[in-house]
Amino acid sequence: MKNTLVFASAIGLFITSTLATASAFPGQRFTKDAKVTLAQARTIALHAVPGGKVMKYELEREAGGNGLQYDFEIKAGAQLRDIGVDAKSGKIIERETEHAGKDKD
């Protein structure tokens, strides 16, 4: 019985740590330096692309703005929009549009 309890606890710990890792996003290690949360940045980016759907996102160090930005790839109709939100001020500092299925140059 004791061995079963220890085994079950170990499995629970493994599942919990796996789920925590799965919910991580690229650049999450920089969130301690951001004043704007991912949820806030997502709202700002989606406001810039009404009816859009977030396809990808990340937090990265960039030369523009305050040096840290959330990048969102948002699909709206046949277009993909890249929206950069400054992670310290919440201002949109990048907007690019491309057609879905086409690579950026």
Q: Which sequence spans correspond to the domains of the chain?
A: 27-99
Residue 88: predicted pLDDT: 93
Q: What CA–CA distance (Å, rounded) separates 95 from 60? A: 16
Mean pLDDT of 63-69: 80
**Stated pTM of the model:** 0.70
pLDDT at 86 over 60: yes
DSSP characters over the chain: -HHHHHHHHHHHHHHHHHHHHHT--TTGGGGGG-SS-HHHHHHHHHHHSTT-EEEEEEEEE-SSTTSEEEEEEEEETTEEEEEEEETTT--EEEEEEEETT----
* Domain covering 27-99 in this structure, CATH number: 3.10.450.40
pLDDT at 83 over 50: yes
Could you tell me the end-to-end alpha-carbon distance of the chain, in angstroms, rounded to an integer? 62
Band of residue 45 on the pLDDT scale cut at 50, 70, 90:
very high
Contact 44, 85 (CB under 8 A): yes
